Structure 1
Amino acid sequence: MADDATDQGSDQPWGYLFAHFREDQVGHAEKIFLSLSRGDTPLRWDPLNGNEPVLESLIGTTGVRDPAIVRDAAGRFHILATDLRVWANGPELDWPTWRRAGSRSLVVWHSEDLVHWSEPRLVEVAPPEAGMAWAPETTVDPETGEHIVFWSSRLFSPDDPDHREDSYSRILYARTRDFETFGPAGILIDTGGRDIIDTAIAQADGRVYRVSKDENRDDDGRGVYLEAGSGLFADDFEVITTRLAEDLYGHGGVEAPILLREPSGRWLLFLDQYRDWPQGYFALSTDDIESGRWEPVPAAEVDIPPSTKHGTILRLTRAEWDRLDRLRAPGAFTGAAD
């Protein structure tokens, strides 16, 4: 336990929890893993549960990826994940089929305390015209207080029920207050033809910042790019910068952005690189998000376990951090994956 926060109030913000999965071509790591911040920094992490998965899904495709962890207004916690098992049949991957005929549901867990978790359930969020529902994330509508859950889906014509025609990924969304029931899907981002996935949203100082990945590998492809607008559903978003970290991992070599602001005001952008093994996250930072200038966080400041893949980070209270700090041993979680 870190000594520099022992006097902090138990209900004050302190520490972070990282929900993520792992990529494993041989074993089965498409499950939920949790890591705890090493003190009150989102740059240094230690695996919980003996570095073993905390949750798994035996429903749907029996694999989960891209988890989002969120606290609702009532203080309950929820994990939402992509219902997709990529490595079920060895090294043979079929991304085209998964994009047009994949699961339209998310896998959802609930918890009162971050320790004891419900059984998973499938929640169908995408319409029949969708080919998949990938990489769920959440934000809050400041006007209604509702949670906005958003994800990427390819949409096909109702006249194409087998989803054979060409299409592209949009970002869809649905509203919820309790993560038990969800409203109908709407379109949050539509580029008019370019594949967009992995959107993350942060709201600050009256602005909405969106980081997304443009999947197109042509010369006009934006890679991971940042844009800003005046509201969640505003039509005035403007691109601030494109091809983030391309100089480090090549065009299209990073994905799964996590955008957060530290208490100091510094912005951090975590990106998941999949060009080199072991794959996983690294961090960029900026003191001025509107400038478009991001620099790698010095390696001496960062310690993210290898193969920490696509996930999200939750701000904790000191009491929550202390509770999780006691769950480092294998099998420490109730409901932990076998």
Structure 2
Amino acid sequence: MPPAPHASRRTFLGLTATVPLALSGALTLGAGTARAADSAYVMGCFTESPSGNGTDYGLHLAVSTDALNWTPLNQNNPVVTPTEGAGGLRDPFILRKQDGTFIVLATDLKGTDWSYVSQYVHVWNSADLRTFTGYHRLKLHDMNTHSWAPEAYWDAGRGQYGIIYSAVNDSGHNVIMVNYTTDFVTASAPQVFFDPGYDVIDGDLAVGVNGVNYLYFKSSSAQALVGARSTSLTPGSFTAFSTGVAHGGTEAPILVKSQASGTWWLWGDTYTPNGVFYAWQSSSLSAGTWTAVDQRTYTQPVNSKHATIQPITTAEYNNLLAKWGAPAWNRLKSYNYPARYVRHSDYVGRIDEYPFDPYQDSQWKLVPGLADSTGVSFQSVNYPTRYLRHSDYQLRLDVGDGTSTFAQDATFYRTAGLADASWSSFRSYNYPTRYIRHSNYVLRIDPVSTATEQQDATFRVGY
């Protein structure tokens, strides 16, 4: 049977109730209320963009303090890349092992050649996600099929780790398989973990939540993310129960438990080559119902695809930033069109819907104002001699000519967002009654008075 229309991703965020004491404050996510004394999150992904401008099949990392807005590390470049098999990865997964260190798994596939068959998955060990050791591939089966979207979990009853992944077995359709291991070097023979009788990929587990285990997966027939549950981790014991959620064709579910509240998030990824993440939330996994999260609330790392999210401590968050560094650029999200970002196109300032190429058109260095260092100027990343400036009240990307007029036109004062004080607005230096806003998606400076104009003039400065 031909593979499903993409390769997949994996992530496990239902930690077991036994989290290593190396964490400051044990996380007992099964209880649904406890949190670490200090907490953050790490995301692993690979990258793809519409024309391949931002495509890379290595492991990319990002960090967050709220599991919703992310800071890409290493300037959004890979931190490690496979050297065996296809020479690239998809669908990375990060697990904190019982000893407090990490294991990284990934699909052995580079690009979108779904006819490429690998019975292996990539494996790295890592003490801290700053160094990666022991790279190897682990063979999971001898079948003439793929090993997509690997994920691992601790099965306390067996005293082993389970590795689940998508493959086509004798049923003729994609099912979720499982192998067991203690060391991620050798593994048991494969078994069918979940087969509802139709094509399923991208299994993602939350283990031990009030005595119940939850498995979310992509139903290829429904083109939606669906949940199954079981009171055990026995292969074949899971039964589908939830209402499916989707935004177009959606795959790659990520279950994320807030470390600060009882909220669960379910992330999903559209399966087009230029994937877009969407998020839903719930206060109870047992209910099996989800509410879409306002896109103003979350921002995926640029070009990210098929991610994994793992809780970490604040110390680990700080250490990752110290090692890999935060981006030297920012992106600006529109408040009232949160799928759109400030960019230049043919040197015209505008807001366009993510994703697009060149993606660098939406990356800006917010430098001290050219006319007043207490203000800001927007320097283009891919045209570093050019700055956003107004001309006849419209914003253009022009080369700095060294004149005081240009410096004034290119200088703005950052203020509290006119529609939301936690966001930002930008007031013109030389026309102080006017703010940067969008009108028909084109950027200009205008006086602002109505609620709509205030929303047009409000942006989130992030990554």
Q: TM-score by structure 2 length?
A: 0.59
**C-alpha deviations, 1:216-240, integer Å up to 9, x for none?**
3xxxx36321122211116553332
Distance 2:70 2:79 in 1: 16
Correspondence for 1:225: 226
> Quick one: distance in 2 between partners of 1:33 and 1:328?
11
- Which position in structure 1 is the counterpart of 2:56? 29
Separation in structure 2 between the aligned mates of residue 129 and residue 273 of structure 1, nearest angstrom: 28
What is the total number of aligned residue pairs between the two structures?
290
Counterpart residue number, 1:177: 182
The structure having more radius of gyration, on CA atoms, is 2
- Residue 103 of structure 1 pairs with residue 118 of structure 2: yes
Give the match for residue 85 of structure 1: 110
Measure the CA separation in 1 of the matches of 2:60 and 2:101. Answer: 19
Tell me the amino acid that sits aligned with residue 126 of structure 2.
S
CA distance in 2, matches of 1:141, 1:297: 32
Q: Is the 8 A contact 1:64 1:82 kept in 2?
A: yes
SS in 2 for 1:241: coil
- Superposed, 1:1-338 pairs within 5 Å as 11-12=24-25, 13=36, 14-24=39-49, 25-26=51-52, 28-37=55-64, 39=65, 41-87=66-112, 94-95=113-114, 97-98=115-116, 102-118=117-133, 120-125=135-140, 127-156=141-170, 167-192=172-197, 194-203=198-207, 204-216=209-221, 221=222, 223-233=224-234, 237-245=238-246, 248-249=247-248, 253-263=249-259, 264-275=261-272, 278-329=274-325
**More deviation in 180-189 or 41-50?**
180-189
Contact 1:240 1:290 (8 Å CA) reproduced? no
Deviation at 1:278, TM superposition (A): 4.5
CA contact under 8 A between 2:163 and 2:179: conserved in structure 1? yes
Separation in 2 of the partners of 1:43 and 1:105? 32
CA contact (8 A) 2:85 2:108 kept: yes
Change (3 A) 1:301 1:232: same
Cα distance in 2 for partners of 1:145, 1:321 equals 29
- AA partner of residue 105 (structure 1): Y
The structure showing larger relative contact order (alpha-carbon pairs under 8 Å, at least 6 residues apart) is 1
Rounded Cα–Cα distance in structure 2 between residues aligned with 1:293 and 1:172: 26
Give the superposition deviation at 1:103.
0.4
Superposed displacement of residue 179, structure 1: 1.9
Rounded to whole Å, the distance in 2 between the matches of 1:169 and 1:234 is: 15
Q: Provide structure 2 residue ranges, at least 5 long, that are not aligned to the other structure.
A: 1-21, 26-35, 328-463
- Verify the 8 A CA contact 2:243 2:289 in the aligned structure 1: no
Over 3 Å counting, the alpha-carbon distance change for 1:234 and 1:184 in structure 2 is: closer
Gaps of at least 5 residues in structure 1 are 1-8, 88-93, 157-165, 332-338
Structure 1's consecutive aligned runs of 4 or more residues displaced over 3 angstroms after TM superposition are 234-238, 328-331
- Residues 92-144 of structure 1: CA distance to partner in whole angstroms, max 9, x if unpaired? xx43x23xxx000001111122111126311111x222411000011221313
